[in-house]
Amino acid sequence: MGALDDYTVLDLAVLVQGPQAAATLHDMGASVIKIELPGMGDLGRVIPNSPDDLRSPYYEACNRGKRSVTLDLRTPAGKRTLERLVASADVLIHNFVPGTMEAWGLSYEHLSDINPRLVYATGSSFGPLGPKSTREGADMTGQAEGGLMFGTRIDGSPPIINGAVISDHVGCQNMVVGVLAALLDRSKTGIGQRIDVSLVGSMIYAQASEITYTLLTGRNPERTHSGHAIIPTLLHTAAAADGWIHLLSGTGPGWPEFAKLLDRPDIADDERFMALMLSAEARAELVAIIDDVFPTRTLDEWESALDEAGVRYGLVRDYEAIVADESMYENGYLQRVEHPEGERAVIGTPIRMSATPLQPGAVAPELGQHTEEVLLEHGYTWDDITALREEGAFG
């Protein structure tokens, strides 16, 4: 039993922000019906692994366990069909450009008249208000205009795109939080509500501390050499003989022990390094020492030494190392599931619940795979389905 058993979610969204939010609700137990444009479907379907491998990592990751229904919401028949599905749904999610659903006659106000209990969650790039609200965007738009590209630059380098579609993912989590809060409120009031989440807003919230620095000082924080812009501690990524380690501590009370690891007992009592917060000059000097010493040992050797000394650190791992790590499966972050093509590993869930554990789906649906099945469950007959097809509801 999942926490959201007996809840139904209509997922109209595309790519990552909305679909991943709906996928999280599915993993919590909700039944998710994915509404897709006939002949095209979710844009995530057309981002393949390679020209020779047309499987889509975006579509697979964000849509496992859902049922796919094709509906052309631009047609009267498609609109009527969605309205009928909305009548018994709990949540509707979309991330169309603001104004799109309104242009189709499917605004929140209209759908909430049909079902006052509906929780209507919408994601956008810039938010629902202001001169940029109707501008199209994508994850990198959120990273750029929400400040993350600026925040991840190093030593005056050009702005850097994050290696993950991070504004989509943070936007997804914010959307899930809003949906769950709205469902909790609905349990008291009996009435749903509209939720708006944007990529830019999600990036600003994710950098709340860093942007608050600017609010307090009136200037941008300056980041240097793999450290954090407003945390003047060691925080350095060091090259070992066979890989990289990110150091999170070493100075402060533990400095004498760390100085021994660096083969520098001569500076073990240097007061500059016994402070948790380092001056820019002291940090630069320490980083130079680390960069000379760390390449002389392997990752395994440094792991053992740092663990013994109580220094906090993290190995810089690539994706191949992560998917080969059995502890990731033990914690459920990756899971092995039965798939029609045989057992395969999939992304699990970072959320553990003792009484209602989350369970990721195994299979992402084919386009329109469940259209007839879902419509029959909602009271349509085969004659009704034939008539809808003739009216263009399915393309």
- Residue 304: what residue type? S
Pull the structure tokens for residue 372: 């007839």
Identify whether 271 is part of a domain: yes
Q: Do both 165 and 310 map to the same domain?
A: no
Which stretch of 149-153, 200-204, 323-327 has the lowest confidence by average pLDDT? 149-153
- The answer for residues whose C-beta is within 8 angstroms of residue 204's C-beta and 6 or more apart is 146, 147, 211
Residues 250, 252: Cα–Cα separation, whole Å: 7
Q: Mean pLDDT, to the nearest integer, of 62-68?
A: 97
Q: Do both 194 and 245 map to the same domain?
A: no
Q: Mean pLDDT, to the nearest integer, of 100-120?
A: 97
pLDDT of residue 230: 84
Q: Do both 166 and 41 map to the same domain?
A: yes
Whole-model pTM: value is 0.94
Q: Do both 110 and 244 map to the same domain?
A: no
Q: Do both 16 and 140 map to the same domain?
A: yes
State percent of the chain over pLDDT 90. 87
pLDDT band at 149 (very low <50, low <70, confident <90, very high): very high
The domain in which residue 258 lies consists of 236-316
Q: Give per-residue pLDDT as tens, 177-192.
A: 999 999 999 999 999 9
Q: Give per-residue pLDDT as tens, 266-322.
A: 999 999 999 888 888 999 999 999 999 999 999 999 999 999 999 999 999 999 999
Identify whether 310 is part of a domain: yes
Q: Do both 261 and 384 map to the same domain?
A: no
pLDDT of residue 232: 85
User: Is the pLDDT confidence value at 17 over 90?
Assistant: yes
Identify whether 381 is part of a domain: yes
pLDDT of residue 145: 97
pLDDT band at 10 (very low <50, low <70, confident <90, very high): very high
Q: What are phi and psi of 330, to 5 degrees?
A: -60, -40
Residues 219, 211: Cα–Cα separation, whole Å: 10
Identify whether 84 is part of a domain: yes
Query: CATH code at 137?
Result: 3.40.50.10540
Query: CATH code at 262?
Result: 3.30.1540.10
